[in-house]
Structures are given as C-alpha cells and as structure tokens.
Structure 1
Amino acid sequence: MPQFHWINEPAVWHHENARLHVVTDGQTDFWRETWYGFTRFSGHFWAREVQEDFTFQARIRADFHTLYDQAGIMFMADEQHWLKAGIEYNDGQPAMGSVLTQGGSDWATGPFSGDARDFWMRLTLRDSALRLQYSTDGVNWPLLRLCPIVNAARYQVGVMCCTPERAGLEVEFSEISLTPPNGKALHDLS
C-alpha cells in the first residue's frame, strides 16, 4: 500500500503480505491537555490522505498489558482535530475506548467483552460526521461513537499504536481497507 505514510515512524516495523507489523517506541502517545495538562503527538500513525467520505476498516492483534498500551485506528484533520480508537489498557484490563480531540482531548472508555488480542475497528466519514464501530468477530459491529468533525479539504486516516509508559508493544494490523462509505443504517450492525 504505497499511498500510506508514517506520522511518527517507529524504529521497528515492516509491511508484507498485506500485514503491517509494528513494535512501539517508548513514551509515545496522542493527547491534548485535558485533565493531565500536557500535549503529546508522538504516537505511531500509519496514514493515508482522504478527500471524500469513506469507510476504513482494520483488524488489530496485540497483547496489551501495561498501563495505556493502545492500538487501533485514527482519523486526523490536523494536530488539534483528530479521533483515535481501539483497545487501551487501563485499570488493570484491556478496555475499548476512543479519544476525540477538538482543541482538547476527551476520553470515553469501557469494558471490552471480547478477546482484546484480536479485534476489528471500522470508521465511516459521511456528511462531516464520524461513525465509529468495533467488532469482536469481524461480523457484528456495535456502534462505539457518533460525532461531528471539523470540515477540512483533506484528512488522514489509518492505524495507530502508542505506549506512553514503555516501549515494545508488538502490534499486527491486517485486513486494512478503505472504500466509499458503506451507506448502512446507523443501527445496522453488519
């Protein structure tokens, strides 16, 4: 997929057979100010440019075990307007969550009932709104978040991973696809 590029390229990664393998660098994260008072834009984001509405999907495999270990998908208009979502390890367990940043970051998180070592994420942009879904089996896709996003001439979308407290999370991204928006009804879980 030559159209993808790194924002904060990790020291160790390779892409072959439609699979992206990444080992995170230390103290990497995406966050802006809220609660902690700091801004970080050091996480690993393998992205491609988009200018039209779309559906982006990926399968993520990793063994999360250290506070704030995270991997999933990301969407960015600029460094102050972005969304990241996936599994993040906190409170002693992997949780499903998302961070929407529009100047400052929010954080919505909750228990994950599936196998956090193997899950899917899907993001659809349609009419300046983001529809975020996840799946434990690649078949059923519950809604995780629906939110407006700032209008821009172009965006970046792709996969991300970060380890704010350490280095060395090994992540495999596969089944990566970017298509026109799927057009499914909001509560269609397929």
Structure 2
Amino acid sequence: MQDDFYWINTPRVWHKTPDGLSVVTDGNTDFWQTTWYGFERFSGHGFVRDVTGDFTFQVRIQANFSALYDQAGILLVADKQHWLKAGIEFNDGAPAIGSVLTHGQSDWATGIFPGDAGDFWLRLSRKGDALRLQYSTDGQEWPLLRLCPFAHTQCAVGVMCCTPEREGLEVRFTDITLTPLLEKDLHDLS
C-alpha cells in the first residue's frame, strides 16, 4: 500500500499490515446526510488517497458484522456533501450488500449478499463522470452492484468502516489496488 493514503476521522486503533490495513472502529461513527433520519454524520473512518481522472480501485474486506449498521467497504469522497460508500452493512438482523450515494442527501440501496459477508471484495471504477461499482464473493466473478453519475473530478478513494451503534468492529483490508481504468464491457464479470 502506498504512503499517500490519509485518514478521514482517524480511529484510535489501527495499523498497517504487510498485506494491507487493520482497523478497530470507534463508537458512533457513520457517513450519512439527512434522508429519513434527519441527521448529518461525517464521522466514519475513511483511509483514502487523492485521485483524478479515470481509475479502478479494488479491495478485499474481512470483518465479523454483528450489530445494527456495522459496515465496511469502499469510500469515494469529493466533499462532505458528495460521496459514495459501499460494502457490507448489518441491518434487519443480517449482513447485506449495499451502497449509499450522497449528492447533498443520501440514498441507500441494499440487498441480500449471496456469499460469506465476513470475507468479500469490492471494485470501483470511474470512467468520465460515471461510477461502476462491483462486488465479488470469491475475487474472480464481479457482478454489478451500482452504476451511477459522479461528476466530481477531484476526489479521494479508499476504504471505510463505521459502527453507528457501538464501537469495536475489527476490519481487515487487504489486496488494496489502485490502477488505471479496467476497460471492460459493462456485463463482463471478470
């Protein structure tokens, strides 16, 4: 992992590992803007690096999600009002795959995760002003999770984890890569 990553809301407990990053979440941490709940939160932990232009960012995430809203995954941030987070989030008694896109207000799209939610991969590609978000249960096959606009050219990309209802979620991020855009057909799952 390169040294140009930096923290948005540094957790009390974290360290780089030979193959990535290990984090233990602080309590009452989250990224959310107003929708449904009315609150504004930008207290989640994000380990990011600045990016411009087209790219593909990929990571493997391992965690034991067990409390309401435990979450970990990918984060793309332009500013406090414009960002995307995606990954596993524990809700309705089970871990689910989902994403939140925020343009002033947050949306939330979530669904059943078809694999082991304690060990999964995410891939985010930016092409022009569009984002392609994919997930994987095995690091080999990459179904589409979300396709959406994101017109901010200057932003930061990396990993995130949050625990709005508790503290102490242990998360491992490995296989972290930032590369030029993987030019693949939208329905190419490789």
Unaligned runs of 5+ in 2: none
1:77 shift after superposition: 1.0
Deviations 1:3-42 (A, max 9, x none): 1000000000000203200000000000000000000000
Deviations 1:134-167 (A, max 9, x none): 0000000000000001233x11000000000000
Alignment of 1:10-159 (within 5 A): 10-152=11-153, 154-159=154-159
The residue number in structure 2 matching 1:167 is: 167
Deviations 1:108-155 (A, max 9, x none): 000011000000000000011000000000000000000001233x11
1:10–1:23 CA contact under 8 A, matched in 2: yes
TM-score of the superposed pair, with normalisation by structure 2? 0.98
TM-score of the superposed pair, with normalisation by structure 1? 0.98
1:51 shift after superposition: 1.1
* Structure 1 runs of 4+ with >4 Å offset: none
Question: 2:152, 2:175 → 1: CA distance?
Answer: 28
Q: Which amino acid aligns with 1:110?
A: G
2:53–2:128 CA contact under 8 A, matched in 1: no
1:13–1:22 CA contact under 8 A, matched in 2: yes
Unaligned runs of 5+ in 1: none
Q: Which amino acid aligns with 1:169?
A: L
The residue number in structure 2 matching 1:186 is: 186
Where 2:186 maps in the other structure, the secondary structure is coil
Where 1:9 maps in the other structure, the secondary structure is coil
Where 1:27 maps in the other structure, the secondary structure is coil
Q: State percent identity of aligned pairs.
A: 67
1:81–1:150 CA contact under 8 A, matched in 2: no
The number of residue pairs the alignment matches comes to 189
